[in-house]
Amino acid sequence: MNAVIAAVGVMLILSLSRVHVVIALIVGALVGGLTGGLGIDATLKAFNSGLGGGATVALSYALLGAFAVAIAKSGLAHALADKALAMVDRQHSTGGGSVKWLLIGLLWVVAIASQNILPIHIAFIPLLVPPLLYVLTKLQLDRRLIACVMTFGLITPYMFLPVGFGNIFLNEILLANVARSGVDISGINVTHAMGIPALGMVFGLAMAFISYRQKRVYDLTKIEQVEQVAVQYNPMSLMIAGVAIAAAFIVQLLLDSMIIGALAGFLIFSVSGIVKWRETDDLFTEGMKMMAMIGFIMIAASGFAEVMKATGEVQTLVESSASWINHSKGVGALLMLLVGLLVTMGIGSSFSTVPILAAIFVPLCVQLGFSPLAIVCIVGTAGALGDAGSPASDSTLGPTSGLNIDGQHHHIWDTVVPTFLHYNLPLLAFGWVAAMIL
């Protein structure tokens, strides 16, 4: 059996069996390494060498966690909850319907903006979602819907709009690798190529609103404990919180570092006196605990990806799929998309998957007679497939980091499975249709 299939299969089965994702990634990496002929020593060496790749993201999450706790201490969470709850009370007869759609729309717009307009990626989630969670729970909104809404905003813009992270993915990675593999991309409109797959994401989002339209009850007391809703606040503390958040975003954009951005925001809270110097250590530790799980998953995922690369069987899997195609464009497109789904779910990054896939898929597409536009669509969709629905992707880890602060949102069953079903399956279908008609 191919090492990648074995590793990803074991990882997914263990994750779905509610084994912790970190353990699932480690066991999956060991199975993949041994299946790929690396041996235990070489597998562990590859895994250890890859751990550093996730350290930056893990530290970023730890600092963002401390920053989020400082925001809660400022009273901003309570202020937001009071304002929204007052709106719900005024609309008691309708169950707070307009407030529900306002909050969903806010998270959707901010998630989209985080990829293109204000490219801060997932940094907004631990800052924005926890303060709103109390109100979302009062409205009995299903958090699986919120996870789907945010994941849509984290993925669709970069795979369709060539701005911000979309410019990196579509122009600097996708088109560049297709051109490097020998296809003339002059005159190709990458937005046109990825338009139909993007419609698959829209379709999936619409289905999520249907799937999770029913109310779901969560324990409010757990959120009150985490969000410190009894904290007193005043206009000055709220203003400082606003300045700290703005400073964190600006510093991150200027220095391209979530670590320095979160640190700058935390220091503003400390200097202002909202966070007492003697409380800094305890508060920082509390914030790091809140984000520890996400950080460790990212670190383990980097080790897992390094083992997959070390086996050399990612390319073997891609090449072997060519022997199953037998000159059929329909079968070829489907197999290439399925391989892309499998590889990306294991590696957890669309941006890292495209260069691996393009080197083999582009010559194969040319041989099968696909147009340049269809080739761009196939490679781009194959790369994007698996970003949603991967236990190790920041597009699923990000939403979980905000929705699970009170321990009532399971990463696998409440984020990974819903996003897999509502995005990967429609993306697979719409991507195949696009490949056939472009």
pLDDT digits (tens, 9 = 90+) for 355-384: 778 877 888 888 888 999 999 999 999 988
Report which of residues 324 and 5 the model is more confident about: 5
Number of domains the chain is built from = 1
Q: Is the confidence at residue 207, as pLDDT, over 90? A: yes
In this prediction, residue 97 carries a pLDDT of: 64
- Classify residue 414 by its DSSP letter: I
Among the ranges 121-135, 256-270, 322-336, 360-374, which has the highest mean pLDDT value? Answer: 360-374
221-231 per-position pLDDT tens digit:
888 776 655 55
- Put residue 148 in one of left, alpha, beta given phi > 0 → left and psi -120 to 50 → alpha: alpha
More confident residue, 83 or 155: 155
Q: What percent of the chain has pLDDT over 90?
A: 24
Model pLDDT, residue 94? 53
- CA–CA separation, 436 and 42 (whole Å): 42
pLDDT at 335 (0 to 100): 87
**Three-state SS for 115?**
coil
- The candidate with the shortest Cα–Cα distance to 282, out of 69, 80, 113, 30, is 69
Phi-psi region at 214: left, alpha or beta (left = phi > 0; alpha = psi -120 to 50): beta
- Six-digit token string for 125: 């989630």
Mean pLDDT of the chain, nearest integer: 83
Q: Is 323's pLDDT higher than 70?
A: no
156-191 pLDDT, tens digit per residue, is 998 998 887 888 889 888 998 888 888 888 888 999
Judge residue 58's burial from the number of C-beta atoms within 10 Å of its C-beta, 0-12 exposed, 13-18 middle, 19 or more buried.
buried
- What pLDDT is stored for residue 16 in this prediction? 83
pLDDT in tens, 55-70: 776 777 777 777 777 7
What's the pLDDT score for residue 390? Answer: 86
* Residue 102 pLDDT greater than 60, yes or no: yes
In the numeric block, which tokens belong to residue 233?
Answer: 């606040």
Per residue in 8-60, pLDDT tens?
A: 888 888 888 878 878 888 998 899 899 888 889 889 988 888 887 667 767 77
Count the alpha carbons within 13 Å of 365 in the hemisphere toward its beta carbon.
Answer: 30
C-alpha span between 242 and 315 (Å, rounded): 48
Instruction: Give the pLDDT score at 416.
Output: 92
More confident residue, 327 or 381: 381
Query: How many other CB atoms are found less than 10 A from the CB of residue 216?
Result: 14
- DSSP label of 194: T
Q: What is the pLDDT of residue 198?
A: 95
Within a 10 A sphere around the Cβ of 23, how many other Cβ atoms? 13
DSSP string over 354-407: HHHHHHHHHHHHHHHT--HHHHHHHHHHHHHTTSTT-TT-HHHHHHHHHHTTTS
Each residue's pLDDT tens digit, 233-254: 678 878 888 888 888 878 877 8
- The domain of 421 spans 3-437
pLDDT, residue 431, reads: 95
> How is 240-301 classified by DSSP, letter by letter?
HHHHHHHHHHHHHHHHT-HHHHHHHHHHHHHHHTSS-GGGHHHHHHHHHHHHHHHHHHHHHH
Structure tokens at 190: 């990458």
How many residues are listed for the chain in this entry? 438
pLDDT tens digits for range 401-433: 889 988 899 999 999 999 999 999 999 999 999
Confidence of residue 89 (pLDDT cuts 50, 70, 90): low
Q: How far apart are CA 53 and CA 153, in angstroms?
A: 25
Q: State the pLDDT at residue 429.
A: 95
User: Cα(423)–Cα(419) distance, rounded to whole angstroms?
Assistant: 6
Check residues 395 and 326 and name the one with the higher pLDDT: 395
More confident residue, 210 or 325: 210
Q: Is the pLDDT of residue 105 over 60?
A: yes
Task: Give the model confidence (pLDDT) of 74-88 as tens digits.
Answer: 777 667 666 766 776
Q: How far apart are CA 29 and CA 46, in angstroms?
A: 10
The pLDDT, as a whole number, for residue 54 is 67
In which band, very low, low, confident or very high, does the pLDDT at 71 lie, cut at 50, 70 and 90? confident
Residue 169 structure tokens: 């993915």
Amino acid at 24: A
Q: CB 303: neighbour CB atoms within 10 A?
A: 23
Give the distance between the most distant pair of CA atoms in the chain: 70
Q: Tell me how far apart the alpha carbons of residues 310 and 98 are, in angstroms, rounded to a whole number.
A: 52
Find how far residue 411's CA is from the centre of its chain: 12
Q: Which residues contact 395 (CB under 8 A, 6 or more apart)?
A: 122, 151, 154, 155, 387, 388, 419
Structure tokens at 164: 């911000």
Residues in CB range of 32: below 8 A, 6 or more apart = 3, 4, 6, 7, 8, 10, 43, 304, 307, 308, 311
Packed helices 3-16 and 313-323: angle between N→C axes, nearest 10 degrees: 100
In this prediction, residues 342-355 reach a mean pLDDT of 77
Please check whether residue 392 is in contact with residue 21, taking contact to mean a CB–CB distance below 8 angstroms: yes
pLDDT, residue 52, reads 74
pLDDT-based confidence at 130, cuts 50/70/90? confident
**Residue that is written with structure tokens 């990306």 in the block:** 344
- Decide if pLDDT at 95 tops 60: no
